[in-house]
Amino acid sequence: MADHQPWAALQAEIVACRRCPRLVAWREAVAQQKVARFCDQLYWGRPVPGFGDVQARLWVIGLAPAAHGGNRTGRVFTGDPSGDWLFRALRRARFANQPISLHREDGLQLRDCYISAVMRCAPPQNRPTAAEAKTCLGYLRQELELLTQVRVILALDHNHMPWP
């Protein structure tokens, strides 16, 4: 059985992060100046923590939350086209109980799979700076320490990941 206290502490630390002024300004501006199709929705507008099975053997890592996806829903890959593809694939492989995820409370459950991103805030033009990526890598390292059962790491969008 997993000790959930370190996970709760890490998620609280991530959600409270304000270390990168450019990213804070961008994510909060996007949350205030919504696109028309989501004008009636409340945006998360904070850093997006990982989610899923903390005893997972599969860890899926994306680059960053989408401005009107994870930054809106509070869950990475949720409510955006990249998530549509990912969750269908996870469902086919039996890592997810449903093939779509539209919001945080939509009933999605991951089995033996954990999902997070290198960046916790949506960056402008989906391009974080190397310094911003370095700041967020500490969270990724903490997740790696806590995900003691992981055997496979699936890194998505590796061409744009700003590895320091």
3-state secondary structure the chain: CCCHHHHHHHHHHHHHCCCCHHHHHHHHHHHHCCCHHHCCCCCCCCCCCCEECCCCCEEEEECCCCCCCHHHHCCCCCCCHHHHHHHHHHHHCCCECCCCCCCCCCCCCECCEEEEECCCCCCHHHCCCHHHHHHHHHHHHHHHHHCCCCCEEEECCHHHCCCC
Give the chain's domain count: 1
CATH number at residue 46: 3.40.470.10
Taking the complete model, does pTM exceed 0.85, yes or no? Answer: yes
Q: What is the pLDDT of residue 3?
A: 73
pLDDT at 164: 44
Domain interval for residue 132: 4-160
Task: Render each residue's pLDDT in the chain as its tens digit; 164 residues.
Answer: 567 899 999 999 999 999 999 999 999 999 999 989 999 999 999 999 999 999 999 999 999 999 999 999 999 999 999 899 999 999 999 999 999 999 999 999 999 999 999 999 999 998 999 999 999 999 999 999 999 999 999 999 755 555 44
Task: Locate 73 and state its tokens.
Answer: 């829903």
- Specify the pLDDT at position 103: 94
pLDDT at 62: 94
69: its two tokens: 């996806």
